Structure 1
Amino acid sequence: MTSPATLTAGQVHARPEDFTVVDVRTPGEYASGHLPGAVNVPLDRIGASLPELRRAAEDKVLLLVCASGARSENAARTLAAHGVTAIGLAGGTRSWAAAGHGLDHPADGRRSVWAMERQVRLTAGALVLLGLLLALLVHPAFQLLSAAVGAGLAFSALTDTCGMALVLGRLPFNRRR
């Protein structure tokens, strides 16, 4: 399967009026900083938002954005399966900010939430540590908790998906109020 088309931050910044920007990160991540004019449609809501996204793609180029480009690529594939053409921002908001372009923040003053990747690292690390401590203090079988987290991380890397991020994305601080 071929990867969806992408544009660089410089290409998008040169002609922002050509795009409808859709940020597919969680609402918490979106609140931490997003491309100017971007609307937030989390990856797990892409299917439910198909009619609106289809209409948006008729007027302008649909540009999908996430933190690094992986989730926007998944969203572009999902949309393509439903006949909606979209492109991604290569490198996501990280590349946008690294190129010196500004990020907008919600006007409602919500506190920013850690990026999903950082939340996953904290959770995985805490679970591995907990498994090891419980194995030492309670019962050796708790080593399986650490092994399960390690297996999940390896699977995540091989498939470019993250079950832990999907679960964390459902927590209240990662959802729209």
Structure 2
Amino acid sequence: MTIQTITPAEAKVLVAQGAALIDIRERDEYARENIPEAHLLSLSAIESGERLGPFDPFDTVIFHCQSGTRTAQNAQKLADSVAPAKVFLLEGGLTAWKKDAQEILADKSQPLPLMRQVQIAAGSLVLAGVGLGFGVHQGFFLLAGFVGAGLLFAGISGFCGMARLLAIMPWNKP
């Protein structure tokens, strides 16, 4: 079954008519910026069995994430979580919503989402390792290799030590 995608303008009309808009991003992403009408129900919460509803066949539910990728990859799982409601995916996610000049709530005092922090930290360490490897001593290339191995391990296993470490940092505490 193919689940239809809709534009931000179409979603805005459906929300005004009573459709439920559900943000499947994680709590830290939602806290930094979100669509005012959106309810948070993260993909991880859906996967662990949390639900909104109950819904009936006359209800309309629109799911969105940051770029539309997570909703597209998990479309059937999302639809099953609100069955038998009619389901749409917001094409392009929050990014498209903002490009369409739709209203968002932003709280820049919230920390960056954890995965962005991991990307910044890993990228910085790799650049430092390469720069120091060329400029100071070749042994610093091991730093870049270590970070690369950590990212490879995280991708294969689903466990990211850097994310766990960053999650306990003071700026990420509620």
- TM bin (shorter chain): 0.5 to 0.7
CA RMSD of aligned residues (A): 3.9
Mapped to 2, the partners of 1:61 and 1:174 lie a distance apart of 35
Tell me the TM-score normalized by structure 2: 0.68
> Which residue pairs with 2:124 in the alignment?
126
- Residue 68 of structure 1 and its aligned partner are, at CA, apart by 0.5
Instruction: Go from structure 1 to structure 2 and tell me whether the alpha carbon gap of 1:70 and 1:131 turns closer, same or farther (over 3 Å shift).
Output: same
Secondary structure of 2:21 counterpart:
strand
Mapped to 2, the partners of 1:27 and 1:7 lie a distance apart of 24
Secondary structure of 1:96 counterpart:
helix
One-letter code of the match for 1:126? S
> Which residue pairs with 1:33 in the alignment?
33
Counterpart contact for 2:129–2:141, Cα < 8 Å? no
Counterpart contact for 1:41–1:49, Cα < 8 Å? no
> Which residue pairs with 1:72 in the alignment?
71
State the structure with bigger RCO (CA 8 A, min sep 6), 1 or 2: 1
- Residue 26 of structure 1 and its aligned partner are, at CA, apart by 1.8
Instruction: Go from structure 1 to structure 2 and tell me whether the alpha carbon gap of 1:67 and 1:174 turns closer, same or farther (over 3 Å shift).
Output: farther
Higher normalized helix content (fraction of residues) = 1
Counterpart contact for 1:24–1:75, Cα < 8 Å? no
> Which residue pairs with 1:102 in the alignment?
103
5 Å matches for 1:8-157?
8-16=7-15, 17-50=17-50, 52-53=51-52, 55-56=54-55, 60-80=59-79, 84=83, 86-105=87-106, 111-115=109-113, 118-132=116-130, 136=137, 138=139, 141-148=142-149
Mapped to 1, the partners of 2:146 and 2:57 lie a distance apart of 48
Counterpart contact for 2:27–2:40, Cα < 8 Å? yes
- Residue 130 of structure 1 and its aligned partner are, at CA, apart by 4.8
Q: Pick which of 7-16 and 117-126 moved more.
A: 117-126
Counterpart contact for 1:65–1:72, Cα < 8 Å? yes
- Residue 99 of structure 1 and its aligned partner are, at CA, apart by 0.7
Mapped to 1, the partners of 2:144 and 2:73 lie a distance apart of 33
Mapped to 1, the partners of 2:172 and 2:24 lie a distance apart of 13
One-letter code of the match for 1:63? I
Q: Which runs of 5+ in 1 are unaligned?
A: 157-161
Higher Cα radius of gyration: 2
How many positions carry a matched residue from both structures?
A: 163
How many percent identity over aligned positions? 22
Q: Deviations over 1:34-77 (max 9, x none)?
A: 11221112221112344x33524656222111110112223423
Q: Which runs of 5+ in 2 are unaligned?
A: none
